[in-house]
Amino acid sequence: MSFDPSLLHNNGHGGFANGTSLGVRETGVVEKLLASYGFIQCSERQARLFFHCSQYNGNLQELKIGDDVEFEVSSDRRTGKPIAVKLVKIKAEMLPEERISGQVVSAIPSHLDGKSAPGQVPTGSVCYERNGEVFYLTYTPEDIEGNVTLDTGDKVCFYMETNKHTGAVSAHNIVLVKKKQSRCQGVVCATKEAFGFIERGDVVKEIFFHYSEFKGDLEALQAGDDVEFTIKERNGKEVATDVRLLPQGTVIFEDISIETFEGTVAKVIPKAPTKNQNDPLPGRISARINFTDKELLFGEKDTKSKVTLLEGDHVQFNISTDRRDKLERATNIDILPDTFHFTKETREMDMLSAQRNHAVRIKKLPKGTVSFHTQSELCFVGVVEKEAYNSLLSAPPFWIYGECCEIAYEDSGVKSTLPYYIKDLEGGAYPQLGDKVEFSISEVKRTGQQSAVSLRILNRAVGTKRLLGYIATLKDNFGFIETANHDQEIFFHYSEVCGDVDNMDLGDTVEYTLSKGKGNKISAEKVTKVAAVNGVGEDVSNTMFLGKVVRPLRSVDPSQTDYQGLIEITEEGASKGQSYPFGIVGMANKGDCLQKGEMVKFQLCTVTQTGQKMACNIVPQRRALVECVKDQVNLIMQEIGESKKLFFHVKEVQDGLELQAGDEVEFSVILNQRTGKCSACNVRRVSEGPKPVATPRPDRLVNRLKSITLDDTNAPRLVIIRQPRGPDNSKGFNVERKSRQPGVTD
């Protein structure tokens, strides 16, 4: 059937003659088409317009439902309703049929996926780039191919589609190409001035990062820190962004086997790698694992003891498997003890020293295995011919290893001399010129040099003026020695001490020689701490006497001329009023400081050399009252005799008791050699003092209370609001109290 357009324009729906036309062109889609009329769905607005086929400008046979048309809106002359006139078919836009690559900009929210409100469809958006310009398209869940969920940042490809009703272009047939990379982890392997590198935990690869991308304290960032980051492309290269620290130990590159394997070194790590060597694991170990021969790689960091490996060494190791590429290598490599039986290397034994020779492949031996000397089993007797005088006056270690002494001896009729050193002496005494000694001969294996060892003095030389004495006073760098007769003190300097001064205490027996210095002042030289060689030999009586210190030692009172102290017997008897001298040896406690007027208990002894009777085993009888306590840190006491205050620390109190003012105590007195002040020690409580009494109310308060009357309304008073009640609501407690045993109930 054919229509004549010129006849159809006169059917009463003309755009200009028979109706009213607005002159505005719109677009729409043919929604319904019948023989002579149809309906159009407007694209720009929600409207459905009637049109007559006579208003179509074109071949009516080519017009189909769904075609895009352009038209003007007019009104029907009879009904006044809007109608479409002057229809023209629009050629469909040729959208590209090839797939377009893009990226998800905004994903469909998961809580709205397929659950949108009535009349609304959840949408997301994708973007793509054309000629340097970015375009954005929407999509719905129906546009996604496959059962996948798209997230923001995912790379996709899709087709473009135009909505015929609205003319909007959207994406459809969306296919997921690559999921967005999640946060990656790694370890910082290098740091520079403004950038660094991260060893990735997902692939065997390093990635660059700039310090501006680090989110944290940059000063704390260092190589070896675990981090997480996001990968982005910049200038065609991958870089790490948003770098953040992770707890140490989060990133693990490899798994190390628990089982230990054994193998043989097939290739060692070169000591001087070549310029072209880029292999980080140049070493090789051959092993049979699970009935299969394998060759495992290893590097410098895989040796457990940092020992130098040689080809053919028998080793034990663990296998490390890289999580990223499953590469296996040997690690924790350690040489087996039996490997030296198979290698042809020359082994030596020695002790650790500061020599310049470089030792490798060191094996620890049991203590005492290596010896540099051989010592004779026979003992020899000789005489000291040379005394190491200068070395004795020097500080360690010179007097131990420095100048040597000489001994003359005879072996099988042949007279010889042999050197010896102070370090090889036995006992505390030092040999002097002419002393007869016994010794053994030691020979150095490497040089054959001989020396005397294990020296022991047999007899002192006749005429050797070695004197015995006792340490009486020790100062900062000097001291005094009490003579064997206990009647004088001899000065000595610490430089004259043979040995360690710190090992000397008051009352120690020493051996020394006398010399004259400047101004003909006598002093002690070559002071040596020894046990008594000949013995002092005092005869001590069993009787205990009670006495009083008449004169202290000169170390306590430097103003006096006599060195000895003096004690007078005070108890009733035939000996009352007799006085006896005493020295440092007579003190029961050598550190005790006896003051003038103190009461003491003592015994009498006879000095063998002089026959003089002296006081010995002197024990002071001190009692005092604690005067005050200061913050439990120090206390001050007052002696009963001369009212002299003494300080003592709370730690000096025995049995851990807490003393109070007024307690009676016993104590000892010590003299501080540096400050010259005395203090109390070994404090023991004898009896407790009177308990503190409550201080009576002051008179002003008593008078004020007396002046208050009950009739005075302004006076303070006590008002009982509620009478006391017991647990059974009775007045007071009626239940009788009784003792109970723990854990037993009625």
Which amino acid belongs to residue 218? L
- Tell me the three state secondary structure of residue 320: strand
Positive or negative, the CA dihedral 200, 204, 206, 207 is: negative
Q: Are 494 and 477 in contact (CB under 8 A)?
A: yes
What pLDDT shows up at residue 245? 93
We find that the CATH architecture of domain 535-620 is Beta Barrel (2.40)
pLDDT band at 432 (very low <50, low <70, confident <90, very high): confident
Distance CA 310, CA 307 (A): 10
Strands 48-52 and 82-89: parallel
Lowest mean pLDDT among 72-81, 335-344, 370-379, 656-665: 335-344
pLDDT band at 344 (very low <50, low <70, confident <90, very high): low
Distance CA 494, CA 523 (A): 12
List the CATH code of the domain at 100-178.
Answer: 2.40.50.140
Show the beta-strand stretches assigned E in 412-488: 414-420, 436-444, 450-459, 467-474, 478-483
Q: Are 334 and 304 in contact (CB under 8 A)?
A: yes
Structure letter (DSSP) for residue 545: E
What pLDDT shows up at residue 226? 94
pLDDT in tens, 281-309: 888 999 998 888 889 989 888 888 767 78
pLDDT above 70: residue 136: yes
User: Half-sphere exposure of residue 634, counting CA atoms within 13 Å on the CB side?
Assistant: 7
Lowest mean pLDDT among 249-263, 314-328, 621-635: 621-635
- Tell me the three state secondary structure of residue 567: strand
What pLDDT shows up at residue 712? 60
Cis peptide before 270 (omega within 30 of 0): no
Structure letter (DSSP) for residue 82: E
Q: Are 236 and 270 in contact (CB under 8 A)?
A: no
What pLDDT shows up at residue 390? 40
pLDDT above 50: residue 394: no
We find that the CATH architecture of domain 373-459 is Beta Barrel (2.40)
Distance CA 285, CA 263 (A): 6
pLDDT band at 595 (very low <50, low <70, confident <90, very high): confident
What pLDDT shows up at residue 413? 81
Distance CA 203, CA 240 (A): 14
The total of other beta-carbon atoms located within 10 Å of residue 687's CB is: 10
Q: In terms of Cα–Cα distance, which of 414, 428, 419 is closest to 386? A: 419
- Tell me the three state secondary structure of residue 308: coil
Higher pLDDT pick, 399 / 511: 511
Distance CA 710, CA 40 (A): 110
pLDDT band at 398 (very low <50, low <70, confident <90, very high): very low
Q: What pTM was computed for the model?
A: 0.37
The CATH number fitting domain 183-245, selected from 3.40.50.300, 2.40.50.140, 3.40.640.10, 3.20.20.70: 2.40.50.140
Distance CA 261, CA 269 (A): 20
522 backbone dihedrals φ, ψ, rounded to 5° = -85, 135
Which residue in the block uniquely carries the two structure tokens 């078919």?
89
Domain 466-529 classified CATH 2.40.50.140? yes
Q: Hey, where are the domains in the chain?
A: 25-89, 100-178, 183-245, 254-342, 373-459, 466-529, 535-620
What pLDDT shows up at residue 66? 78
Mean pLDDT for 711-726 is 69
Q: Are 3 and 60 in contact (CB under 8 A)?
A: yes
Element (H, E) at 703: helix 699-707
Which fold would CATH assign to domain 25-89? OB fold (Dihydrolipoamide Acetyltransferase, E2P) (2.40.50)
Same fold, 466-529 and 535-620: yes
Contacts for 361 with CB less than 8 Å, ≥ 6 apart: 307, 308, 310, 335, 345
As beta bridge partners, residue 377 has: none
pLDDT above 70: residue 273: no
The percent of residues above 90 in pLDDT, for the chain, comes to 10
Mean pLDDT for 27-42 is 88
pLDDT above 60: residue 14: no
Q: In terms of Cα–Cα distance, which of 427, 423, 420 is closest to 406? A: 420
CATH superfamily of 254-342: Nucleic acid-binding proteins (2.40.50.140)
Buried b (16+ CB within 10 A) or exposed e, 500-521: eeeebebbbbbbbbeeeeeeee
What pLDDT shows up at residue 536? 44
What pLDDT shows up at residue 261? 92
Contacts for 605 with CB less than 8 Å, ≥ 6 apart: 538, 539, 540, 541, 586, 613, 614, 615, 616
Q: In terms of Cα–Cα distance, which of 347, 401, 339 is closest to 369? A: 347
Helices (H), 492-547: none
Lowest mean pLDDT among 115-119, 339-343, 608-612, 684-688: 115-119
Structure letter (DSSP) for residue 171: E
pLDDT above 90: residue 225: yes
Contacts for 544 with CB less than 8 Å, ≥ 6 apart: 601, 602, 603
pLDDT in tens, 664-684: 887 777 766 666 677 777 777
pLDDT band at 207 (very low <50, low <70, confident <90, very high): very high
Positive or negative, the CA dihedral 163, 166, 169, 172 is: negative
What pLDDT shows up at residue 50? 92
166 backbone dihedrals φ, ψ, rounded to 5° = -105, -20
pLDDT above 90: residue 590: no
pLDDT in tens, 433-448: 778 888 888 888 888 8
Higher pLDDT pick, 705 / 507: 507
410 backbone dihedrals φ, ψ, rounded to 5° = -125, 130
20 backbone dihedrals φ, ψ, rounded to 5° = -105, 125
Contacts for 488 with CB less than 8 Å, ≥ 6 apart: 482, 563
Q: Is 575 left (phi over 0), alpha (psi -120 to 50) or beta?
A: alpha
Q: In terms of Cα–Cα distance, which of 514, 430, 434 is closest to 469? A: 514
Lowest mean pLDDT among 439-448, 456-465, 579-588, 640-649: 640-649
Positive or negative, the CA dihedral 645, 646, 647, 651 is: negative
Element (H, E) at 702: helix 699-707
Instruction: Write down how long the chain is.
Output: 746
Show the beta-strand stretches assigned E in 656-706: 664-671, 678-687
Mean pLDDT for 333-358 is 66
pLDDT above 90: residue 271: no
Q: Are 298 and 283 in contact (CB under 8 A)?
A: yes
What pLDDT shows up at residue 5? 38
Structure letter (DSSP) for residue 476: S
Structure tokens at 118: 């009535």
The per-residue pLDDT of the chain, averaged, comes to 78
